[in-house]
Amino acid sequence: MIRMIEEIRAGAVVEAEEQEVSTLDACLEAVGSLDGSARSLISFSRDGLTLLVGGGGGGYVITVETSREIRNLLNGGESGQDESELTVGGQACEYP
């Protein structure tokens, strides 16, 4: 099973919904619900590995954490842009 935590925001109020999912399709459906506003952060954990997906609306930042390292991957903005602005966890950030 995969532990999934979704943040859902209503203004300054955030609610974290936690559930166990068993399929990749359930994970992909949850990522598809990210809208970059009310829903802009979701995490998946299993066997000491955590995957965080932030953003929405076509722009995403992915973070993978293990006990030894953290890696990031950005998919956002248009080709040729120096920086991309994404909302992650309710906070607008610029990513190189």
Q: For residue range 16-47, what is the model confidence (pLDDT) as tens digits?
A: 999 999 999 999 999 999 999 999 999 999 99
Model confidence at 64: pLDDT above 80: yes
Distance (Å, rounded) from C-alpha 16 to C-alpha 18?
6
Q: What is the pTM of this model?
A: 0.85
Q: Which pair of tokens denotes residue 17?
A: 């919904």
Give the three-class secondary structure for 80: coil
- Domain extent at residue 73: 2-95
Domains held by the chain: number? 1
Q: Which pair of tokens denotes residue 41?
A: 């952060």
